[in-house]
Structure 1
C-alpha cells in the first residue's frame, strides 16, 4: 500500500495505520453501514426536496418552454418548435409520477450511459417491487429526475443540446458582476509578483481564496428551486464573519499539503467543480493562485457534460463566463483575467474534463469498480478539491452517518489521492464533526440545510504514491 509521507515519524506511522484500517472498511456488509437518506422519512430534507423543490424545478422548465417557444423556433427551427408540446407533455408526466409516488421507469435512447442507469435502476428493486420516488434513495431519485429531463431533450433531436437552465445561470453571473470584479482585482494584486510574497502573505492569500471558493458555494440554484441567487456584497468583507461559521476547518492542514507540493515537480491539482456563476469564478481564482504561486503545474477541472442540478457548470458556462469577462466594459481586471485564463487553457496548463460518472447517481466509493479509468486518472493527482453539497453527499454515500464518525472513515475506501471537501451545508448529513463544534449551531434548527454553515475537511489517505513517497 502507498501513502503520503508526512512531516513527523509519529504522524507518518499513525496515518499509515489509519489508512490501512480505512482501506479494509470497504469489505463491510451493507447492513453494518448507516442507511442512505430517503424521502420516506417525513420531515427530512429529502422528503421536502422530493415533495416541494423538485416539482418546482420541473414546473420552471415547463414554463420556460412555453415562454420561449417563439425564440426556440427562431433559433432551432420550426421542427424544434413543434416538438415543444410533446416535450412539455413528457415533463408534466414526469412531474405527475413523482407527486403520485409512482415507480421509476427505465431510460430509453442511445446515450452511452443509458445501460448503466437501467442496471442501477434494477438494483433498486426490493422484494420484486420497482423503486418509487419517496422510498428509493434520495440521491438516486434526485439524480434520476435530472437525467430524465436530459433524456427527454436528447430524444427530441433538434433540442438535444439546449440548456434549459442556461438563462438562470447567465442571470446569476450578471447579477454577481460587481463582486466578481472586486475578487478579480484582489487576485491580480495578490499574484502581481509571487516571488516577492513572504510565507505569511502566501498563507493569507491561500486563506482568502479557499474561503471565497468555499462560501461561493452558497449560490446554488437547485437549493432555491431555480429562484434567483447572486453574490452582491463584497465577498472579501464578508469572509471574516463567515469563517466563524466553518464548523470543521482543516485549512491549516491543507496549506501544509500545498507547502510540501511547492517543492515538487509536475504537480497536478484537481478541482471537482460545482456551480456556475460566482462560484465558478471563485474556483478559477483559486486555481490561478495555485498556478501563479508555482504550487501546481497542471490543473484538471472536472465539470458536467450536460445541464445538471440547475446551476452546475457545463462547458457552455465556462465559455460564456470567459466571453462575458472579455466583453466587460470598464472592467479591465476581468479582461486581463479572461486573457490569462484562456492562455492557461491554450497551453494545457488548465484542462476542463468531463465524465459520465459525475452525472450518475453513484457514490464515489463505487468509482473504482464502475469507472476505473476515472479513478486511475484521479490517482495521478497530488490533491483533489471536491466542491459543494452534491459532491459531499456522494463522498459520504449519502448515508446517515453519526456526525462524529471520522471523515476518512465515511468515504468507505474512496482514497484515490489526498482530498479536501469544501462545502456549505445544504443537506442533512455530515461526518467528522466533533460534538463541541456541533454545539455552536444550537440556536439554528436548520443548520444542516440552510447553507449558513460550512466545512473544510481533509482526508490525507491515498492508495497511490503519486502525491508523495512510498511506504
Structure 2
C-alpha cells in the first residue's frame, strides 16, 4: 500500500509526541546521569545533549554513522520538525555517544539503563509473577498457552500477567481492554509452525513473559524453532539486548518450580539451536520495517510467522503515521515479508485495524487518551 496518511511529527505543543521530546527525554538524561558515577566529560556531553534536544537542531553523528538512515536529510532541522520515530531513535543514539558507549575507553559497552533493568528483573513483583506459573501448571495446555500469550501481550502490567482473559467481562464491557483480538487466528498459525521470529520489545519483566511463551510453544511443538530478535545496543531505555536475554534466562533458571523448569528448557533450546538470538543493526534503525535491508527481509521472509512485540515495533510495522484507526491492518503491513502478528499495548497514537464501532466507543469513553495510556491492547494477525 502506498502510504497516504501524514507522518507523525512532534511539532504540535500539547501533543503526545511533543511531550516525549520536551519532557520525557530530559527526564531520561537526568536518570542516566544518576545511574553511574560518570566523569566530567560525560556530564558535559549530557548537558550539551539536553540543550540540543530541547532547543537545538539535528547534528551529524561521529564517524558518519546513520548516513544511510537519513542524517543528511534532517541535519540542521529542529528535533520537533522531523519524523517523531526518527527523532526519538536519534536521541537514544546521541545519548549513548554522550556517555561514551561507542568510544574506546572505560565506559565503552556499558549499558546506561542496566541498573533499572536489573532492579525490575529482581523485584518482588517478578517473584510473584513467576510463582503464578506453578498454579498454571495444572491447567490444560491450551489454557496455559492462552495465559502465557496474555502475559506476553501485557508485559509488565503485573495485575494482568499470566492470568486468563475473562471472556465474559470482555463481552460485558462497552469498551474492552483488547481493542482488536485475532488470537484465534494466531493460534491457528502456531500449529506445527517451522520457524517463528519474535521481534522483542523491552527487557526485564516484559522479556520474561516473551521467553515463557516461546518455551511453551517449543515444549508443545507448536513451533520447531524460534529466532528472537533483540537490539544490538541499548535503546529506548529498556529495549532488550543479548545481555538482557542472558540475564532473564539466568533469572528463570535459578527460580523454583515451573519457572525454573521453563528456564532450563530455554537454556537447552539455545544450546541445541532451537532458540536463536539475533541482533541485526536495523533493529536500532529510525525507520519503518518496510525499509528493512535485503538480508533481513530475506531472513524474516523465510519464517513461518513473525510476531512483533510492543508499541515501538508496531509503529515501525505499520509506519508511524496518522492512519485512520479503521485502516486495514493487512493493508498497512503489506510490505512486511511473510505472515505477521502484532502483540501490543497501546502507548502512542498510531493504530490500525479497528472496527468503527470500537473506535467510536473508545473516543466516547476516553477522548484520545485510549491511544497512549497503556490501558488498551491488541492482537492483530495478517496471515
Q: TM-score, normalised by structure 1?
A: 0.75
Distance of 2:374 and 2:227 partners within structure 1: 27
Matched, 1:106 2:60: yes
Selected match of 2:79 from 117, 133, 146 = 133
Shift in CA distance, 381/237, structure 1 to aligned 2, threshold 3 Å: closer
Q: Secondary structure at the match of 2:28?
A: helix
- Given that 1:39 and 1:50 are in contact with CA atoms closer than 8 Å, whether structure 2 keeps it comes out as yes
Matched, 1:149 2:95: yes
Selected match of 1:184 from 125, 133, 152 = 133
Aligned counterpart, 1:209: 148
Shift in CA distance, 186/268, structure 1 to aligned 2, threshold 3 Å: farther
Aligned counterpart, 1:463: none
Q: CA RMSD in A?
A: 2.1
> Which whole-Å deviations, capped at 9, do the CAs of 1:325-350 have from their partners, x for residues lacking one?
3344xx23333222221101101110
Q: Secondary structure at the match of 1:443?
A: helix
Matched, 1:338 2:263: yes
Aligned counterpart, 2:173: none
Q: Which has the higher contact order (CA 8 A, sep 6+)?
A: 1
Shift in CA distance, 119/374, structure 1 to aligned 2, threshold 3 Å: closer
Aligned counterpart, 1:21: none
Q: How does 1:60-139 map to 2 (within 5 A)?
A: 60-65=31-36, 68=37, 84-100=39-55, 102-109=56-63, 114-117=64-67, 120-124=70-74, 130-139=76-85
Q: 395-404 vs 239-248, which deviates more? A: 239-248
Q: Secondary structure at the match of 1:317?
A: helix
Distance of 2:69 and 2:235 partners within structure 1: 21
Shift in CA distance, 333/209, structure 1 to aligned 2, threshold 3 Å: closer
Selected match of 1:379 from 277, 286, 301 = 301
Aligned counterpart, 2:187: 255
- Given that 2:329 and 2:380 are in contact with CA atoms closer than 8 Å, whether structure 1 keeps it comes out as yes
Q: How does 1:54-453 map to 2 (within 5 A)?
A: 54-65=25-36, 68=37, 84-100=39-55, 102-109=56-63, 114-117=64-67, 120-124=70-74, 130-152=76-98, 153=100, 154-155=102-103, 157-175=105-123, 176-186=125-135, 188-189=137-138, 201-216=140-155, 219=156, 231=158, 233=159, 235-237=161-163, 239-240=165-166, 244-259=176-191, 262=192, 267-328=194-255, 331-367=256-292, 371-411=293-333, 413-441=334-362, 442-445=364-367, 446-453=369-376
Unpaired runs of at least 5, structure 2? 171-175
> Which whole-Å deviations, capped at 9, do the CAs of 1:247-285 have from their partners, x for residues lacking one?
0101111122223xx2x6xx0011000111121111111
Shift, 1:237, TM fit: 4.1
Distance of 2:376 and 2:69 partners within structure 1: 37
Shift, 1:293, TM fit: 1.4
Unpaired runs of at least 5, structure 1? 1-24, 70-83, 191-200, 220-229, 461-471
Shift, 1:402, TM fit: 1.0
- Given that 2:133 and 2:162 are in contact with CA atoms closer than 8 Å, whether structure 1 keeps it comes out as no
Shift in CA distance, 63/34, structure 1 to aligned 2, threshold 3 Å: same
